[in-house]
Amino acid sequence: MLPWEFVIIALATSATVALTVIGAITVLNVFTFPRLDRMAPETRRTVSETPVRVSVLIPARNEAGVIGESVRRLLCQDYPNYEVVILDDNSTDGTAEIAGAEAHAGLVRIVRGRPLPDGWSGKNWACHQLAQAARGDILVFTDADVIWTPGALTRLVAEMIHRGSDLQTVWPTQITVTWTERLVVPLMAFVIVGYLPLPAVHHIPWPIFAAAMGQCLAFRREAYEATGGHAALRDEIIEDVVFAKRIKRAGLRLRVADGGGVISCRMYHNWREVRNGFGKNILAGHGDSIPFLLLSWAFHWLLWLAPWLWLAVGTLIETPAWPLWPVLLMALGVGIRALTAAFSLQRVRDAVWMPVSTVLMAIIAAQAIWWRLRHGGPQWRGRTIPARGAQKGKGP
């Protein structure tokens, strides 16, 4: 066997093993992952009969396009004991006025955000202020663009009480319309369902198995305060995952669920928004390490793009195990992506475009690296978010 043939076989073997493991995790999660749309009616009724006070907390910075609908949806909740607190984070587009026009006295409060101190990210500072203003025993942090169906809050609280959660996080069903939204945004669910075995997330205390989604984080107030709240992670970009790790380290109970269409969100509306939004988080999700991000880049190209290239190259030159092995790897990859899409209520047919999704994520990673080298951190909503190392030692 020639050296290059040996390299192909070695890489193909590695890819086969990795895809087999990911496929097994995916099947496990699809059959065991809790979903809010599958909750028994009697569980919801029990929660409604003995309601704890819930504070729904929304940081809002220039959210005029979505805040009105968000408030209207939250006012339609059937949960009997809740409040909605919106923090206007120095918006310049009339966000506070639009929210106020939709608000009902006594149920919705609007808080004016204080100036951003040194050492804080904008969202964490806003959420810190919201927690101080909240009156509830359960704190639900959500985003201005998250859509709540009328029974969503009841289902969320019921799931939290049923599981005994200290931190209950939900992945909202992602609404995707444009081409790049469809090819990139569903990868969040793909990673969670395909890479993180649910039993490990729920029952193994190691922080490596922590996961959370900032679009919906529900804390018992005692747990939030015990982990230091947002003040303890003031400079974190992916504060949701850091919260999940802190909950596990504190010996508290982290539980996850899928929104199942009960809670949904359209995060972005075009390629620019998708690129910038994912570019903001991707380096932080890789430990703020450019070498680790590049290694992840290579790993995903091996799994999701290389088999397609192998099949194409095999039509020009003779390669070992062609075409059966590359076709097998392609089928595994498409099958895993299709299964996660079906579970998370996305378009199953988009699974065949996984190689294109991989290329788009590489572009996003390249932009994140450029931001780090050129500006020191991501560019977001008119602010530079410095790398964590650049903020050490700073604080209010």
**Residues comprising the chain, all counted:** 396
Shared domain check, 42 and 16? no
Quick one: pLDDT at residue 48? Answer: 66
The span from the CA of 313 to the CA of 47, in Å, is 59
- 16 and 41 share one domain: no
Give the integer Cα–Cα distance in Å for 350 and 329. 17
Structure confidence by residue, pLDDT tens digits, 277-310: 999 999 999 999 999 999 999 999 999 999 999 9
Question: pTM for the complete prediction?
Answer: 0.91
Same domain, 230 and 294: no
Establish if 194 belongs to a structural domain.
no
In a domain, 217, yes or no: yes
Q: Which of 230, 264, 298 is the last residue of a domain?
A: 264
Cα 203 → chain centroid: 20
Q: What residues are paired with 282 via a beta bridge?
A: none
On whether residue 269 sits in a domain, the answer given is no
Q: Which of 234, 123, 202, 214 minimizes the C-alpha distance to 169?
A: 214
Q: What is the count of structural domains for the chain?
A: 2
204 within some domain: no
Select from 264, 288, 307 the last residue of a domain: 264
Distance CA 21, CA 334 (A): 15
Which residues, in sequence order, are CB contacts of 120 under 8 Å at separation 6+?
A: 128, 234, 235, 395, 396
Give helix 3-32 / helix 187-195 axis angle, nearest 10°. Answer: 90
Residue 290 is assigned to a structural domain of this protein: yes
Residues 306 and 369 in one domain: yes
H or E stretch covering 375: helix 354-375
Q: How far apart are CA 6 and CA 313, in angstroms?
A: 16
Check whether residue 217 and residue 316 sit in a common domain. Answer: no
Residue 107 in any domain: the answer is: yes
Q: Which residues of the chain have pLDDT under 70?
A: 1, 42, 44, 46, 48-50, 105, 381-383, 387-396
The verdict on residue 238 lying in a domain is: yes
**160 and 25 both lie in a single domain:** no
| CATH number, position 135 | 3.90.550.10
153 with 238, same domain?
Answer: yes
Please indicate, yes or no, whether residues 24 and 127 belong to a single structural domain of this protein: no
Answer yes or no: do 260 and 136 share one domain: yes
Note whether 230 and 292 are same-domain residues. no
Last residue of a domain, one of 242, 264, 286: 264
Same domain, yes or no, for 117 and 80?
A: yes
Q: 188 lies in a domain?
A: no
First-to-last C-alpha distance (Å) of the chain: 64
Domain co-membership, 289 together with 160: no
Residues contacting 108, CB < 8 A, separation 6+:
71, 74, 75, 83, 84, 85, 86, 99, 102
Domain holding 62, by residue range, is: 36-172+213-264
